[in-house]
Amino acid sequence: MLVPVGQVITIAFSIGKSVGNLKNDFASQMKIPETVIRIMFEGQAVEDHETLVDLGITPNGTIQLEMQSMDPENYPVKAMKFQHEYSMPDVITVRVQTGEDIYQDIAVEIERLNYRKPYLGGYRHKVTGMVYHHAGTQTVPKKRPDKGVEVFCRDTQTVFQKNKTQQSRNTMSTQMTKIGYYVSNITDKLLQPSKYVPADEYHSRRLKAVIVIQTYFRRFHAKKVVEQLREDKLLRLQWEEREELRKKEEKEERLRKDYERRMNPKTKEDFELLYHALELWRKEEVERINQQYTGAERKAALCALLEQETQLISSIGRHKIDAGEETQNKAIQSLLNKCCEPKKWKAFDGKVTEMDTQFYNPCQRAT
């Protein structure tokens, strides 16, 4: 009962629930702090740690508690508003006739469905597209008693069972010695029962065998890993040796080409390299002269250096002229070779056809 509005709300709770949990539920529903709520029973305040069992409630029993606010000005207790649509309450009161003109009110607790209903099939409306499911009941399925034995079942909805007799392919027969008939027992074998092996001993023997197998397998696996590592190391060393040899050869080839470019310059880049090397040599010589000589000796050394630089520049210029003539001759020869080439065209089968004519000879005209 909500005090002072006088509203009575019937809600089902577990009998092991504490009063503090009830305050928490009502505080979340009524939007007021839990600390200002006071629960009263028979005119006395109830502590938070007390449970419904402590108040004398039995299973499926009822009790009336009063709830009020300790700060009605700031947090008043207001009547709870319910949805307009019908909602099944947690507890309903049913009046049962037990005798002639004798009726008894019984509180019935509604058991909520705490699991998802399984899909039991259905159908779909062709016009509206609405899907209708087959009905399911609210009753919790009855559990089978636990016998302590793990049971497996292979029956399914799609299994088909049938009985069929079987006859073995090998037909065997036995014969014993009897009156009027003798059967030799020379080839018979006498079998004696061996020593009984307990399950623990059998399993321990199997475990030892498994350990031995695992030991040999791990040894084999370790050997394979070590061999692979040794092979990888050998390949790495060979690769490093090849790389070192390749770098050495590339360095020698680069030095040889650089020397060839300095001795026989042909391109513009080669001459720029020579001029750059000459400039570096001149700077080094000037620095050396400034450190070793002074006065007239320094001037004489600088004049000798200038003459030597002039000779080197003149030599580089002659090489440049010779290289220019050689390059021009090569260009002319390339042009003549291109002009003297026969006419070429590719046929449909991919073959190239060449033809020389007497009416058009670009080689003679170029000459």
Looking at residue 132, its amino acid is Y
Which pLDDT does position 363 carry in this prediction? 44
Q: Is residue 57 part of a domain?
A: yes
pLDDT at 114 over 80: no
Q: What percent of the chain has pLDDT over 70?
A: 89
The total of structural domains in the chain comes to: 2
Q: Is residue 182 part of a domain?
A: no
Q: Is residue 13 part of a domain?
A: no
* CA nearest to 49, candidates 59, 39, 58: 39
Q: Is residue 59 part of a domain?
A: yes
The pLDDT mean for the chain works out to 82
**Torsion angle defined by CA atoms of residues 154, 155, 158 and 159, in that order, rounded to the nearest 10 degrees:** 80
Which pLDDT does position 366 carry in this prediction? 39
The predicted-structure confidence for 40-88, as pLDDT tens digits, reads as follows 888 888 888 888 888 888 777 788 888 888 888 888 887 776 554 556 7
74, 109, 144 - which closes a domain:
109
**Torsion angle defined by CA atoms of residues 299, 301, 304 and 309, in that order, rounded to the nearest 10 degrees:** -100
Q: Which residue has the higher pLDDT, 209 or 320?
A: 209
Which pLDDT does position 153 carry in this prediction? 67
- CA-CA distance, 347 to 354, in Å (whole number)? 11
pTM exceeds 0.75, yes or no: no
* CA nearest to 60, candidates 88, 94, 87, 29: 94
109, 125, 146 - which closes a domain:
109
Which pLDDT does position 359 carry in this prediction? 59
pLDDT at 161 over 50: yes
Q: Is residue 231 part of a domain?
A: no
**pLDDT-derived band of residue 17, with 50, 70 and 90 as boundaries?**
confident
Sign of the C-alpha dihedral computed for residues 292, 297, 299 and 300 taken in this order = negative
- CA-CA distance, 140 to 145, in Å (whole number)? 15
109, 144, 172 - which closes a domain:
109
Q: Is residue 274 part of a domain?
A: yes
Domain of 69, in residue numbers: 19-109
CATH number of the domain encompassing residue 92: 3.10.20.90
Q: Is residue 217 part of a domain?
A: no
Q: Is residue 100 part of a domain?
A: yes
Which pLDDT does position 210 carry in this prediction? 96
